[in-house]
Amino acid sequence: MGRDEIMSAAIRHLNTDPAASMAQIAEAAGVSRATLHRHFSGREDLMLALAHQSLDRWAEAQAGAGIAEATASADPERLGHALHALLTALIEIADEYGFGLADHAMAVHPDLLPRSEELEEREVAFLAAAQRAGVLRDDLPARWLSSAVLGLAVAARESLRRGDIARRDVPRLLLGMFFDGAAARNPGERTVPAGREGR
């Protein structure tokens, strides 16, 4: 039982009970409480390690989607592909580490804030580039689009856990919702009037 195995067991269990105690996590991981404490000095240490892992995966998702290059290229097609790849990857990350999204204490932890802010800045810059390239509408702030993605990913996670939707459908549902919205299409029509941030 290495550190990594304990961490994935912890993730698995925290996803069913986000408020689980160290004792419950240890039991779920099949180790004693003492052993758990040998790997992680305390609850905060464990949570921090899990949070860092999720940020690692977020960073990998950004890199894997090639958002930096796409942002620099300003090429609509590259931006579009990178966007699809990023959203698809974010779905899985949100599903796996979603238990932490609810945890208020972690969200404001000084060890995590700089990292998550930097990752978010990259994402916002990428989305803004997609707006400039005409891939995304530019009458909504890029920062709001970034939040909306996360909100939809959380919604998808919740729907999955409740059994409302099939796992294989999630990417289509989320991407469909994110890109095209829920309104029925009468070609060219926009349901809600554009706001003031258009240029």
Partner DNA sequence: ATCATATGCGACAAAACTGTCTCACGGTTG
Partner DNA sequence: CAACCGTGAGACAGTTTTGTCGCATATGAT
Which residues sit at the interface with DNA, rule CB under 7 A? Answer: 1-2, 21-23, 30-35, 37-39, 41-44
Smaller CB separation from a second copy, 41 or 191:
191
Phi-psi region of 171 (alpha: psi -120 to 50; beta: other; left: phi over 0): alpha
* Angstrom distances, CA of residue 33 to CA of 23, 27, 28, 184, 190: 6, 8, 11, 54, 57
Distance CA 191, CA 183 (A): 7
Quick one: which of 2, 182, 198, 199 contacts a second copy (CB under 8 A)?
182
Quick one: which of 105, 111, 118, 167 contacts a second copy (CB under 8 A)?
105
Least Cα distance to 130 among 83, 199, 189 occurs for 83
Distance CA 178, CA 87 (A): 9
Whose structure tokens read 């978010």?
120
Smaller CB separation from a second copy, 17 or 111:
17
Estimate to the nearest angstrom the gap between the alpha carbon of 105 and the chain centroid: 18
Choose one: 23-31, 33-41, 52-60, 186-194; the region binding a second copy (CB under 8 A).
186-194
CB of 90 to DNA, least distance (A): 29
Quick one: which of 19, 34, 114, 198 contacts a second copy (CB under 8 A)?
19
Choose one: 3-11, 54-62, 66-74, 98-106; the region binding a second copy (CB under 8 A).
98-106
Residue 4 main-chain phi, psi, to 5 deg? -65, -40
Is 65 one of the binding residues for a second copy (CB under 8 A)?
A: no
Smaller CB separation from a second copy, 2 or 187:
187
**Contact call for residues 122 and 62 (beta carbons, < 8 A):** yes
Distance CA 181, CA 110 (A): 36
Residues of this chain that bind a second copy (CB under 8 A): 17-19, 102-105, 131, 134-141, 143-145, 147-148, 150-156, 158-159, 164-165, 169, 172-173, 175-185, 187-188, 190-192, 194-195
